């Protein structure tokens, strides 16, 4: 159960995303230089500046910090409350000028993402939610899709996975596949019913998915990892095998379609 401070936590997330929006305005997507980290992942000055602003706005004493753009401080493993953030998820799209990037912020309590916020500056979309509080889209209460079958469903896929041909196995499966860049943005869209489902076929890090997973579950949707079921964050190794998220009615069909027969779509109550 999210702690009694949840309203204050959501307020901090909203304030932090507003501060991130101010930083985004200093940069022009599609006209920014990028460096490349190990593994050929791009990073820009925007990533670094947003990370600094989020840390300033969010981090309090006795809380941990896990960010894609910060050196990992393993003292976070001793904390009950940990911020898991990706200052700029979808940097490749940001550099290319494709409007599928965002700032992503999650509060993790005892390993579970309990509150999250995602802001896409290109589309001016804000997604905010917490367990027991629901999810909002640009300030309006929303919920995941209530669709109950895969036929005609809109499933968001990784743009890079599609380009590598990894989604060919799902052609003819009866659902529409739409490539989108940022993982966090895809999860946010699912959380408010603007898409029916999304899943990854390659490993992702906690900072990619924690905020989006919190949003989906806050709205009553379904989230599972592709290995052991329940998403647990603030692990020593933040790399996850993969993630699936959808509205509650499609859970069984997607779990079956992906061969996750060992996983139940039923969740413990909040």
What is the overall mean pLDDT for the chain? 90
pLDDT in tens, 26-62: 988 877 767 776 555 777 888 999 999 999 999 999 9
Asked if 91 and 43 count as a contact pair (C-beta separation under 8 A), the reply is yes
> Where are the CATH 3.30.540.10 domain residues in the chain?
6-141
Pick the CATH number of 6-141 from 3.40.50.2300, 3.30.70.260, 3.30.70.3040, 3.30.540.10: 3.30.540.10
The residue that leads in pLDDT, 141 or 37, is 141
Q: What pLDDT, in 10s, does the model give residues 205-263?
A: 999 999 999 999 999 999 999 886 889 999 999 999 889 999 999 999 999 888 875 44
* Average pLDDT value for residue range 138-157: 95
Question: Going by CATH, does the domain composed of 154-257 fall within 3.40.190.80?
Answer: yes
Residues of the chain with CATH 3.40.190.80: 154-257
Q: What is the pLDDT of residue 78?
A: 95
For 12, residues 6+ apart whose C-beta sits below 8 A from its C-beta are 57, 58
Determine what percent of the chain falls in helix, strand and coil, rounding each to the nearest 5.
30, 25, 40
For residue 230, the model assigns a pLDDT of: 86
Contact 184, 216 (CB under 8 A): no
Q: Quick check: pTM over 0.85? A: yes
């Amino acid at each position: 159960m999210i702690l009694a401070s949840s309203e204050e936590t959501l307020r901090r997330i909203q304030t932090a995303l507003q501060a991130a929006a101010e930083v985004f305005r200093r940069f022009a997507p599609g006209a920014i230089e990028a460096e490349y980290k190990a593994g050929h992942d791009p990073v820009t000055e925007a990533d670094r500046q947003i990370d600094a602003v989020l840390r300033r706005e969010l981090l309090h004493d006795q809380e941990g910090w896990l960010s894609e753009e910060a050196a990992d401080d393993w003292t976070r493993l001793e904390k009950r409350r940990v911020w898991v953030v990706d200052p700029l998820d979808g940097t490749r799209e940001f550099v290319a000028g494709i409007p599928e990037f965002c700032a992503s912020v999650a509060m993790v309590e005892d390993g579970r993402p309990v509150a999250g916020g995602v802001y896409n500056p290109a589309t001016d979309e804000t997604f905010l939610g917490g367990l027991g509080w629901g999810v909002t889209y640009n300030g309006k209460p929303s919920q995941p899709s209530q669709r109950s079958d895969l036929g005609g469903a809109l499933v968001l896929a990784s743009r890079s996975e599609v380009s590598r041909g990894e989604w060919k196995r799902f052609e003819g499966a009866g659902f529409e596949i739409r490539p989108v860049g940022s993982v966090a943005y895809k999860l946010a869209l699912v959380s408010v019913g603007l898409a029916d489902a999304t899943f990854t076929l390659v490993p992702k890090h906690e900072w990619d998915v924690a905020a989006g997973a919190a949003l989906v579950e806050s709205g009553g949707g379904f989230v599972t990892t592709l290995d052991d079921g329940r998403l647990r964050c603030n692990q020593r190794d933040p790399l996850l095998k993969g993630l699936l998220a959808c509205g509650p009615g499609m859970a069984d069909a997607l779990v079956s379609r992906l061969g996750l027969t060992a996983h139940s779509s039923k969740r413990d109550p909040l």
